[in-house]
Amino acid sequence: MALPIKEQAKYWGIASVGFLIVLWYMGDVLLPFVLGSAVAYFLDPVADRLEEMGLSRAMSTAAITVIALMVFVVMALLVIPTLVSQAINLFETAPDLTKRLTVFLTDRFPSLLEEGSTLRNSLISLGTAVQERGGELLNTALSSAAGIINIIMLFVIVPVVAVYMLLDWDRMIAHVDSLLPRDHAPTIRNLAKEIDNTLASFIRGMGTVCLILGTYYAIALMLVGLQFGLVVGFVAGIVTFIPYLGALIGGTLAIGLALFQFWGDWVSIGMVAGVFAIGQVIEGNVLTPKLVGNSVGLHPVWLILALSVFGALFGFVGMLVAVPVAAALGVIARFGVDQYQMSLLYRGTQQVEIPDVDSDET
């Protein structure tokens, strides 16, 4: 005899609260395991494809691991030092950029920057604050990442967890499926499949888009000659994960820096703007339709809200799980709406047919 719905809701509610409490208190400890699981989830389709080509699961995992190690070594030797150096230089030159902006505005709009004016004082304070706080923040992040414990956790535990999870991914899914409550197993499987499709479309797709666009922006801006092109490309690539925000922030930052560096050289400024224009054309017409799809069920506002709430509550780990949880809640919410629209609470006793609001009125 199945448990009453009220009892089931109580047990599932207790399990959900327990999960949130564990995430709250053990977020830092769980970080490498969350990252490792995310890497395994991201690479699982690659392992499946290699299995279809005739390799065993162990050989597929080994091949992916070797390629990933080679990429990491290249990144560590060539890209990361340059990225850190450019970021530090950008923070250090912030006051100089502010002074140049002040001179530009003084020449063009002298009334705005009179001695002692609010705008002038704000610009000076902004440049100093960026130099002091930005450098302090970067140094703190670098020093904390350079700690022995963090190095071990992030650069040893994460790859190990990812390898084991990738190796046993299919067996894990089958084991979890065997533990589902029998009465609700078909419904849970359907919901899990829809959640997986959403995550596959958004996380795997957008992750690939971010990687491609970030690499393109960084290389193109450095070829154009922008002083901090690698940093701008890195920032634009990461923020592309949030629709429309990556191009806005990256383009504004790149064009703003280009105005300071190439003022008067309108060809170079136009080339910087053209890099982002071409990137947006490629993203909108090729990358996003092919890799993400047109409908993933995650509205940009819902995504930003999830990142903000989970980041504020659970820190960096919360931001990592925000998108999967948002996707799951979106699928469950749509399922709940469908169930509600089929219930007597919505239809009532008269069974009145609701007209289709999307159909053309005649």
Task: Give me the mean pLDDT over the 216-245 stretch.
Answer: 80
Instruction: State the Rg of the chain over Cα.
Output: 25
Whether the CB-CB separation of 306 and 219 falls below 8 Å is answered with no
What mean pLDDT value characterizes the chain?
Answer: 75
More confident residue, 218 or 79: 218
Task: Give me the mean pLDDT over the 111-127 stretch.
Answer: 57
Give, in degrees to the nearest 5, the angle at Cα 323 between 317 and 324. Answer: 90
pLDDT above 70 covers what percent of the chain? 67
Q: Which residue range(s) make up the domain with 166?
A: 26-170
Q: How far is 97 from 130, CA to CA, in rounded Å?
A: 11
pLDDT at 110 over 80: no
Task: Give me the mean pLDDT over the 190-196 stretch.
Answer: 86
More confident residue, 45 or 1: 45
pLDDT at 173 over 80: yes
Q: How confident is the model at residue 238 (pLDDT cuts 50, 70, 90)?
A: confident
What is the pLDDT, as a whole number, of residue 1? 47
φ and ψ of 163, to 5 deg: -65, -50
Residue 307 falls inside a structural domain: no
Q: Which amino acid is at 342?
A: M
What is the pLDDT, as a whole number, of residue 87? 65
Task: Give me the mean pLDDT over the 3-15 stretch.
Answer: 75
Whether the CB-CB separation of 35 and 156 falls below 8 Å is answered with no
Q: How far is 193 from 23, CA to CA, in rounded Å?
A: 24
pLDDT at 362 over 50: no
Task: Give me the mean pLDDT over the 139-164 stretch.
Answer: 65
Number of domains in the chain: 1
Residue 150 falls inside a structural domain: yes
pLDDT at 9 over 60: yes
What are 47's two structure tokens? Answer: 């392992």
Residue 333 falls inside a structural domain: no
Q: How far is 270 from 262, CA to CA, in rounded Å?
A: 10
What is the pLDDT, as a whole number, of residue 33? 82
Task: Of 131, 128, 122, 88, give the one whose Cα is nearest residue 102.
Answer: 122
Q: How far is 142 from 286, CA to CA, in rounded Å?
A: 36
pLDDT at 142 over 70: no
Q: How confident is the model at residue 265 (pLDDT cuts 50, 70, 90)?
A: confident
What is the pLDDT, as a whole number, of residue 146? 45
Q: What is the largest CA-CA distance in the chain?
A: 83
More confident residue, 217 or 29: 217
Residue 128 falls inside a structural domain: yes
Residue 283 falls inside a structural domain: no
- Report pLDDT digits (tens) over 266-313: 888 888 888 888 888 888 788 877 776 655 566 777 777 887 888 787
More confident residue, 122 or 330: 330
Task: Of 50, 29, 34, give the one whose Cα is nearest residue 203.
Answer: 34
Residue 274 falls inside a structural domain: no
Task: Give me the mean pLDDT over the 203-223 stretch.
Answer: 84
Task: Give me the mean pLDDT over the 65-78 stretch.
Answer: 80
Angle between helices 27-52 and 5-25 in degrees, nearest 10: 110
More confident residue, 46 or 201: 46
Residue 277 falls inside a structural domain: no
Task: Give me the mean pLDDT over the 134-147 stretch.
Answer: 50
Q: How far is 9 from 336, CA to CA, in rounded Å?
A: 14
User: Quick one: how many helices (H) and strands (E) in the chain?
Assistant: 17, 0
**pTM, entire model:** 0.61
Residue-wise DSSP of 226-272: -TTHHHHHHHHHHHTTSTTHHHHHHHHHHHHHHHHHSTT-HHHHHHH
Q: What is the dihedral sign for C-alpha 48, 50, 54, 59?
A: negative
Residue 123 falls inside a structural domain: yes
Residue 324: half-sphere exposure toward Cβ, Cα within 13 Å: 15
Task: Give me the mean pLDDT over the 245-274 stretch.
Answer: 79
